[in-house]
Chains A and B, each alone.
Chain A
Amino acid sequence: MTEIAQLVLNGIIAGTILAVPAIGITAIYAVLRFPNFAVSSIATMGAFAGYVANVSFGLPAAAAILVGFLLAGLVGVVSDEIVLKPIRRNGLLAAAIASVALTLALENVVRFFFGNDLRSYDLPIARDWRFLGLRIGPQQVENLAIALIAMAAVFLFLAFTRMGKAMRAVADNPMLADIKGINADTVARIVNFAGMGLAGIGGMLIGLDTSIDPLTGFRAILSIFAAAVLGGLGSVPGAVVGALTIGIAEELSLLILAPPYRSAVGFVAILLVLTLRPRGILGERAY
Chain B
Amino acid sequence: MTPTRKKRLYLIAAMVAGVAVATGLALKAFNENLMFFFSPSEVATGEAPEGERFRLGGMVVDGSVQRDPDSLAVTFGLTDYDEAVTVSYTGILPDLFREGQGIVAHGKLNGDGVFVADEVLAKHDENYMPPEVADMMEQRKAKGAQ
Physical interaction between A and B? no
Question: Which residues of B are in contact with A by a Cβ distance under 8 Å?
Answer: none
Question: Which residues of A are in contact with B by a Cβ distance under 8 Å?
Answer: none
